[in-house]
Structure 1
Amino acid sequence: MAKSRGFSIYLLKEGYDATNALREDHVLDDDVGAQGLPENASLFILDSAPRAPWWKGYFNIEKELTQVTKGALIFMPVGNRCFALSFGHVAHNLLDSSYEYDFGLRVTLNSLDPRKLKSTDTLDPGAAKRQRTQLPIESELTLFDFDRDSTILRSLTGKVRDEHKALFRHATGASNLRISTDVEAGELPELCEKLLALYQSDAYRAAFPEIQNIVPVRDPAQIEALDSRVLTAFRTRDPDLNITVPEMINYSDNLYVTFAGAGRGLVYDDVYIGRYFAYLNAHEVDLNAMGIEDLRRHVLVLTDEDGNSRDRYSIYKSLVFDTALDDAEGETFHLCEGNWYRIENAYIARLSAYLDPLFAASDLPAYAHASEGEYNAAVAAGDAAIACLDTQNISPDGQSAVEPCDLLAVRDGVATFYHVKVSTLSAQLSHLFNQGVNAVELMRLESQAVDKLEALVRDLMAGGDPDALVVLVRERKYRIVFGIVTRKDPAGRSLNLPLFSRISLMRGMKALQLMDVPASVIFIADQAVAAEGRKKKRKKKEVPEKPQEMQAEAAE
């Protein structure tokens, strides 16, 4: 029986081969004889000089110890394409822009038995959470808790289908394809021909439907083209280009922002891209002369009320933008937290079809306040039948705090839990939607949570009929309303929200639907007057007290 060997295989882009796919500073040697190479293949060897491992000197080991690093890259033309086979740690010598970044994953999806998966590497882009899940038995994708609506599949491992077992038995795919096979050297071109056919096939869509709704863009050439679109939008002040704080923040902490990179900036109490344009204009910066590196170098700074810096974020990382490329029909590209994602337009249309009917006209007053807390308190003060439960906790003793909602009232004969957020930032809205689901789950699972909610209602509800409200809650006759404070036109419905917020909303709405809890989204008109920027308060320099002898000399 032939011995099975491991291979790491890259597919080079059209136009790349052994003559132009390597970095200029590579140290590989191509003057090596090899009699068993496939026809027209090129061999490059890494043969480092012997050197002592770092721990020899660290522990002062007297015995002579050396180690060497060995590796090889074999470039193999197949038809009008070229493959690179990597042995050892040498793949980093390939140009980042020379190979197809989805080759390994697509071949894996097309070759694996969907019932015999072993491991997945996933990414939740909304929370930037990376996770590897391994199971001790061969399983289907559903057992890996893979959410097609919100999770990106980065890598997949498993056993191949019966029809491919003659070529290879196990496969793991990401940018490269890692396989185990017993084919001989002369059979490698035939193997690569079949891998190329698997890469070009869309058959995986039947076994893994909608598995690649969202895919991170890693191809440097494509990222360069997308960044060019960002620059165009920036220089023309495209209204679809927005700026946000790229992390979770607490708006009750008296948030202020300023900008840096072109000089001292004014301090503002809100974040939007017009502030950044005003900052650049004040320093006479020519937008047409700015490049992506300038956007990376300039920063958005969170400050306290006096302008003292707290956190700093690259402007590029803070941008949110959707665009398309001429050579990528049917796809939209989304920039979020400095990373590009490719989304199929059919998936975006499906998001809108599900979410848009869930948006309703607002039944809450307009927002004209300094903070969410002030707004919630004012709404409850203006209607005695509304209980303000902002910052309250209904968790059982000893558990993490869970806020039931911001406002609670009876509307159309049911208890209505309003969750309010002054933001269209993806992370903030994802937190809002999760909060609504978590509160309902807690009330369904913990009777103590309902008892605590009843006590809060009776204590905080100034008028109305608290008894009726409590009865509705205990009979589970309630609904959830997510209220988003924004200046955007409500007619935009789900398109007013960032992509990953729409994904989080759909996930939350489906969870509530499973619990038979009606839910909707409203846009609350933002009528707050934006404050003008102001200069930072200058710190007073402390003058050290002079010694008595010096004070005496000064007096003389």
Structure 2
Amino acid sequence: MAEKTQNLSIRLLKPDVKPEDSVRQGVQLADWPQFEGAKIATGSVGGNPPSWADFPALAADHKSQLFQRFAFGLIFIFVDNRWFAISFGLGHSKIDPSAIEQDFGLKVVLNTVDHTKLRSADLRTPDANTVSRRSQTSRGSEQTAFDIDPERDIVRGLLGEPKDKSFATKVSGGDALSLRRKVSLNELPDLCSRALTFYGADDYKQQFSWIDQIRHVRDQALIDKLEIKLVEALSQALAADPPATDDIHLAYPTIYDPDKAGWVRFRGFNLNEIYPDLEISHYLSGLKAKNGAAYQDNYLVNHSVQECDETGQVPGESWKIRDCLVFETELDGLASAVVV
């Protein structure tokens, strides 16, 4: 098969997760004969007139001609004893974020990118008012061009040119690895294998050693302790009337694009309201109205935030509520830790 320039979005499933356990409810996987054991899912979402069709007061027959549909595709291949998910269109929205390795794409980019040819950086500064920003340059630049504070900023994504052009002509990554290159279908396994090798390397320490100064906690015992304190704080906030939100807030875990879906809704506890902003007060007030004043630890993974339009339709990105919470605390008498 001829090579074609393709934008690929690749995610690495956690070691104990299989494809059928990584997709959202309603996604049907089928065998994909291109590679042994591979799986595929395709489909579309939408099919209704766009929400803006009401505003210009279109006639019913005119409105009936407008249909908004979005296609998605997901491919799962097993390489080097790990499952990889390659998404197309809205395929990424059909993957459960908890099923994939966090920072997989970022780690690959750090180990492959030419540090003098960076083009974009997604940064997050956790604070009483969490700031997320994307800094871009008009040409390839050193990391100093992005004003990164290694003691305060969490790097959530980088884009640039790789040193080895046989891997890609452009790479970017956060949790997912995005790359652009000429590729044929039969090259996918080798490409995933190379990405996995880069993921496990530590070459990044030569130019990006500072990135380890502030990063996501990986130790599960420490995460459990932090989540206990978070649940206690949420229980206290929920018990107040109205719910108290001074020490906890919500922030998008990625750079938010309001043009894609300008509203949000909370899922997991039968709340039908939609909101124009992501606010902790909306979440706690809605939760209190539905479930009372007790906050349970399973809410952190069972509740989620989902982008939508003003009618509550057109599903966009979705994140577990735990991934959107920002809470600063001291743990075991050590320096403050931030749960994000």
| TM-score exceeds 0.5 | yes
Q: What is the aligned partner in structure 1 of residue 329 from structure 2?
A: 320
Q: Which residue is equivalent to 2:161?
A: 159
1:230–1:3 distance in 2 versus 1, CA, 3 Å: closer
1:141-184 CA-to-partner distances (Å, cap 9, x unmatched) read 012112223222111111111x2x11311011101011112111
- Which residue is equivalent to 1:177? 177
Look up the equivalent residue of 2:152 and give its one-letter code: S
- Do the aligned residues in 1 keep the contact of 2:328 with 2:336 (CA within 8 Å)? no
Is the 8 Å Cα contact of residues 323 and 334 (structure 1) preserved in structure 2? no
Q: Does 1:115 align with 2:116?
A: yes
**Residue of structure 1 in register with 2:84 after alignment:** 83
SS at structure 1 position matched to 2:179: strand
Secondary structure, counterpart of 2:215 in structure 1: strand
**Match for residue 54 of structure 1 among 46, 51, 54:** 51
Per the alignment, in what secondary structure is the counterpart of residue 211 of structure 1? helix
**Counterpart AA for 1:41:** A
Q: Is 1:125 the equivalent of 2:126?
A: yes
**Correspondence for 1:228:** 224
Question: Deviation digits for residues 294-345 of structure 1, max 9, x if unmatched?
Answer: 99xxxxxxxxxxxxxxxxxxxx966613369xxxxxxx99533xx24xxxxx
What is the RMSD computed on CA atoms of the aligned residues?
3.5
**Matched AA of 1:109:** L
Paired residues for 1:59-74 under 5 Å: 59=56, 60=58, 62-63=61-62, 64-74=65-75
In the alignment, which residue of structure 1 is the partner of 2:37? Answer: 40
Q: Radius of gyration: which is bigger?
A: 1
- Are 1:188 and 2:188 counterparts? yes
Q: CA deviation at 1:20?
A: 1.8
Aligned AA for 1:322?
L
Runs (5+) with no aligned partner, structure 1: 236-240, 244-258, 265-270, 272-288, 296-315, 325-331, 341-556
Deviation at 1:97, TM superposition (A): 1.9
Partner of 2:94: 93
**Structure 1: distance between partners of 2:168 and 2:87:** 17
Name the structure 1 match of 2:143: 141
| % identical aligned pairs | 29
Q: Identify if the C-alpha distance between structure 1 residues 262 and 51 changes in structure 2 by more than 3 Å, giving closer, same or farther.
A: closer
- Structure number with higher strand proportion: 2
Distance verdict in 2 for CA 1:141–1:234, change over 3 Å: closer
- Higher relative contact order (Cα pairs below 8 Å, separated by 6+ residues): 2
Q: Gaps spanning 5+ residues in structure 2: where?
A: 242-246, 248-293, 301-324
Normalising by structure 1, we get a TM-score of 0.41
Residue type matched to 1:156 in 2?
A: L
Aligned to 1:212: 212
Deviations 1:205-249 (CA, angstroms, capped at 9, x unpaired): 1021212311145x8x95xx54532476799xxxxx9x8xxxxxx
Provide Cα deviations, 1:56-86, integer angstroms capped at 9, x if missing partner.
3432154422232211111110121110001
Number of corresponding residues? 257
Contact 1:103–1:177 (Cα < 8 Å) also in 2: yes
C-alpha contact (below 8 Å) 1:148/1:211 kept by paired residues: yes
